[in-house]
Chain A
Amino acid sequence: MFMLEKAMVGSRRYWVWVCALLTLIAVAFGFYLHQLSYGLGVTGMSRDVSWGLYIGQFTFMVGVAASAVMVVLPYYLHNHKDFARMTILGEFLAVAAVTMCMLFILVDMGKPMRVFNVFLYPQFHSVMFWDMVSLSGYLVINITITLVSLHAEQQDVHPPRWIKPVILLSIPWAISIHTVTAFLYCGIPGRTLWRTAVLAPRFLASAFASGPALLILLCLLVRELTSYDVGKKAINSLAVIMTYAMVINVFLLLMELFTAFYSQVPELTEHFKSMYLGTVGPNSLLPWGQLSVFLMIASLIPLLVPTMRRNETILAFTCAMVFSALCIDKGVCLVVCGFMPSPLGTMTRYVPTLPEMTITVGVWAVGALMVTVFYKIALSVEIAREASYVPAYKYAAGEGVTGLQAHARSNQSV
């Protein structure tokens, strides 16, 4: 069932990594139990800053989940063959990311045991209801796609015909999850940092930069650790997509800044001043806001210079820059600074506490564990399939032994 047995065999390195993640999760779960019994007062959130790291990270991870579409769309709609070996990795990443989103929502809830009230008393006028619907739908769609395609690969048959429309549906659905997540914010009358029509486009642009950045890093890592290589062409293509998305993201940020600072409407400027300049404050997040802008702009150089982008070492650093810039920008600053100043003009300090950060790391560890297990299963299937092909082909060429060796090596290294 679900080929989980393939995740139960692995090298010593694999098990050390899995155990480390499980330990992190266990520690975080302990802190979560404390939060559950004491209340969300264990976090740095307050009456004025009522959403913090959890909701910020949720927002960021929705983007990572949605960004799978940047591999799926070229592959299925444009028949971009380079992505053939990358698509399954992108889809599995999406499953892990959506699960993380749901966990972030759950840990942020004051009454998590009442979560099903959202479906028991559905409120069609609430964006949060639609966000729950779109996220759970996306999870189901992606689990279906990955399981069916993997099963087909394992059996070495074509996937069933009905999966194609499901894959096509996943494309607009991916766009929808992040659009609806942006609507959570931009539909609120009193928070001027968020109440901008550019928010959803900017969310999508930053998602399509940060998601591919993570996927490239994972592909490079997979190639280091196993014999599975998505191919240089795939990585280069994805890097181009990431470049476009990052440029659009920075462009949209500049649009926001121009509108605010040329019109000089205090409502519009004060948030940016507190986030990036520190002239409205004090804002405990100022260094983070500045760091994210610095990383965003700095990453544009290696992204836009083709020779640098094609150098895999530089590319890996660039991806790390893009990912961390956007993780700080969307995952912390954009959400938290929306509450600064408060409706009554107070600048309330927000600093995440140790339990809050540990729980956040714990959710990340769950995501990392899911990616590890999924990739382990998927790569075992893929490598076994390729190995079983290779000997047959090479046997004809009189190189059977090499093929068998390759098979043995791949079994070891996964």
Chain B
Amino acid sequence: MKITRKEFLKISGACLVALSGKEVLAVLDNPAEGQSSSSSAGKARKQLGMIVDTRKCAKAEGCTKCIQACNAAHNIPSFQDPDHQIKWIWEKPFDDIFSSYETQYLDASLKEEPTPVLCNHCDNPPCVRVCPTGATWKRPEDGIVMMDWHRCIGCRYCMAACPYGARSFNWVDPRPHIERLNPDFPTRTKGVVEKCTFCSERLANGQLPACVEACPEKALVFGDVNDPKSEVRQMLAKSYALRRRAELGTGPNIYYLI
């Protein structure tokens, strides 16, 4: 059988259409399939998360050891000007973090209770979705939202997209403002965005995140929230916990026990 070029092109074109049509039909047939398979795979995978036990945290009044440990480990510069501050983990009054759970009659001391906030390492992070260069991404093996400071172009779209205010931008050169240099961790340059990475560099050495290790009250508990046997899961099964702005569908992985 002889096939002219025109016929060949016709047939191959038809085959392509048929093949792609099959794919489309398969998805239309079972729209949940694509989603559920990926999300169940996501569930089976590791997702690191953290519990902040606010009751334990409140016991140590005026304690900022978690923040100091993080700042020292990651060469966080200290700026007097609040506009230029770099913050990976920091404190805010409980009421500011959970304003939608406000009950107006809560005692002022509890409302004002300083509570640690940090990157939520979301299941579905908006910052990763918007980044135009892939400089921030969700690490498949453990769900950490990572940053590549060499690829970031400093457009700050991720800062607009993050509903938690977890990201900081280097408005000026941070290096002269680092109090004590940790030679084991990179410093950053002006013009890039940074944030908490759950101490990926310490995890690689089998250590816990610096903040978790530094907490004298053991108020920070770290682990795999996808593993039903993990300590975090055992704790979350037994008490009520809050997540910041979970209604946005971001799937935050920092849980606050109250």
* Interface members, chain B 222-258 (any A CB < 8 Å): 245, 248-250
On chain A, the number of residues with a Cβ less than 8 Å from chain B's Cβ atoms is 44
Q: Cβ of A41 and Cβ of B84 under 8 Å apart?
A: yes
**Residues of B close to A118: CB separation below 8 A:** 132-133, 153
Contact across chains for B172 and A123 when beta carbons are under 8 A apart: no
Name the residue on A nearest B171 (C-beta): A41
Contact A126 B154 (CB under 8 A): no
Chain A 308-346 per-residue mask, 1 if CB under 8 angstroms from chain B, else 0: 000000000000000000000000000000110011111
Query: When the two chains form their complex, are residues A123 and B133 in contact, meaning their CB atoms are under 8 A apart?
Result: yes
A114 to B131 CA separation, bound complex (whole angstroms): 14
By a CB distance below 8 angstroms, the chain B residues around A345 are 96, 99
Which one of B52-60, B64-72, B157-165 is at the interface?
B157-165
Nearest CB on A from B26, distance (A): 22
How far, in Å, is B133 (CB) from chain A's closest CB? 4
* Residue in B96, B159, B172, B193 whose CB lies within 8 Å of A344: B96
Tell me, in angstroms, the Cα distance from A182 to B215 when the chains sit together: 44
Check: B156 CB closer than 8 A to any chain A CB: yes
Determine the distance from Cα of A129 to Cα of B131 in the docked complex, in whole angstroms.
Answer: 9
* CA of A339 to CA of B169, assembled, Å: 15
Whose C-beta in chain A lies nearest to the C-beta of B92?
A344
A-B contact pairs, 22 of them (CB 8 A): A38-B172, A39-B190, A41-B84, A45-B171, A46-B84, A50-B169, A51-B156, A110-B155, A110-B192, A114-B133, A114-B151, A114-B152, A117-B135, A118-B132, A121-B134, A128-B130, A188-B126, A190-B162, A190-B248, A191-B163, A344-B96, A344-B97
Residue of A nearest to B248 (CB): A189
Chain A residues in 8 Å Cβ range of B171 = 39-41, 43, 45-46
Is the beta-carbon distance between B129 and A40 smaller than 8 angstroms? no
Q: What is the CA–CA distance of A27 and B48 in the complex, to the nearest angstrom?
A: 51
Identify whether the interface residues of A are mostly helix, strand, loop, or mixed. loop
Contact between B153 and A111, CB atoms less than 8 A apart: yes
Interface string of B172-187 (1 = CB under 8 A from A): 1100000000000000
Give Cα A41 to B173, complex, Å. 9
A153 CB-CB contact with B under 8 Å: no
Q: Which among A46, A112, A117, A190 is the interface contact of B161 at CB below 8 angstroms?
A: A190
Judged by a CB distance under 8 angstroms, whether B83 is at the interface is yes
Residues of B within 8 A of A82 (CB): none
Contacts of A117 in B (CB 8 A): 132-133, 135, 151, 153
User: CA separation between A43 and B83, bound complex, in Å?
Assistant: 11
A120 to B135, CA, bound (A): 12
Residues of A contacting B85 in the complex (Cβ-Cβ under 8 angstroms):
47
Partner of A343, one of B84, B131, B151, B163: B163
Q: Is A248 on the interface with B (CB-CB < 8 A)?
A: no
A115 at the interface (CB under 8 A from B): yes
- Taking the closest CB of chain B, its distance from the CB of A341, in whole angstroms, is 10
Given the complex, which residues of B lie within 8 Å of A189, measured CB to CB? Answer: 126, 161, 163, 248-250
Q: Closest CB-CB distance, A14 to chain B, in whole Å? A: 38
Chain B contacts of A218 at CB under 8 A? none
Nearest residue in A to B154 (C-beta to C-beta)? A110
Do residues A184 and B157 form an inter-chain contact, with CB atoms below 8 A? yes
User: Would you call A129 and B170 a contact (CB within 8 A)?
Assistant: no
Give the residue of B83, B132, B164 whose beta carbon is less than 8 angstroms from that of A126.
Answer: B132
Could you tell me if B84 and A344 are in contact, using CB atoms closer than 8 angstroms? no
Residue of B whose beta carbon sits closest to that of A188: B161
B168 within 8 A of A: yes
Please judge, given known A-B contacts A114-B153, A189-B248, whether A123 and B169 are in contact too, CB under 8 Å. no
Q: Does B191 contact A (CB under 8 A)?
A: yes
- B132 close to A39 (CB less than 8 A): no
Interface string of A86-115 (1 = CB under 8 A from B): 000000000000000000010011111011
How many angstroms from the CA of A326 to the CA of B172 in the assembled complex? 32
**Residues of chain A lying within 8 A (CB to CB) of residue B161:** 188-190
A47/B168 in contact, CB under 8 A: yes
CA of A114 to CA of B97, assembled, Å: 35
